[in-house]
Amino acid sequence: MLRPAAAFVDAYLDLINKSQEAIKGGHPPHPYIELLRKVDPTWIQVCLKARELARTIAGEFLKRYMLKGKDEATINQTVERFMKEGELLSHGRIIRYTKAQEYGLNIEVVPKGTPLDNALWELHVRSDNYVQSRGFAKYMVCRSGGLNVQVQKRVI
C-alpha cells in the first residue's frame, strides 16, 4: 500500500502532540511514546525532503510553462494550493480542469472523442498499466523518455 509522504509526517507529529498533551494533562504518555519508537526519524526527514522537492519541481514547471510571466508570489500560491489539495484526502486523485482553472492555470479542454483525447487516454491507460505491473510509485513521461520512481517494501 502506497501512502503519501504527508501522511507519515502528520502521523509522526500527531504522536508527538498527543504525548505532550498526555504529559501536560498528567496522563501517561507511554502508548504514544511506544508508537513513536517504531518510527524511523530519518524516514520522516526523507518524507519532508520529498515534499520540498515536489514544491520545487512544481514551481519550476509552472514558472516555465503554465504560469510563464507570472510573479513568484502567484506561482508559490498556486503550488501551495496543489500541495494542500494533495493533503486533503485526495493525494493521487484527478484534479479536474475547473479546479485547475480556479488555481490559476491556463487550461484548454480537449473535446471528448477527438483524436487528441483518444491519444491522451491511451497514454494514460498504458502508463497506468506500466506503473501497476512493475510496482512503481510514479512514472513521469517526458520528451526524452520516462522516469521510474520505484517502491520498496519497508518492514517495521
Q: How far apart are CA 42 and CA 105, in angstroms?
A: 35
What pTM value is reported for the model?
Answer: 0.71
pLDDT confidence of residue 107: 86
Give helix 41-64 / helix 72-85 axis angle, nearest 10°: 130
Q: Which of 100, 47, 43, 55 is nearest to 80 (CA)?
A: 55
Least confident of 32-36, 81-85, 137-141: 137-141
More confident: 149 or 123? 123
Q: How far apart are CA 47 and CA 41, in angstroms?
A: 10
pLDDT confidence of residue 96: 85
pLDDT digits (tens, 9 = 90+) for 23-78: 999 999 999 999 999 999 999 999 999 899 989 999 999 999 889 999 999 999 99
pLDDT digits (tens, 9 = 90+) for 90-138: 666 778 888 888 888 888 899 999 999 999 999 889 888 888 887 776 6
Q: How far apart are CA 103 and CA 74, in angstroms?
A: 10
Q: Taking 90 as the threshold, does the pLDDT of residue 148 lie above it?
A: no
Q: Residue 155's pLDDT band (boundaries 50, 70, 90)? A: very low
The full DSSP string for 64-82 is HTTTTT--HHHHHHHHHHH
Q: How far apart are CA 49 and CA 123, in angstroms?
A: 30
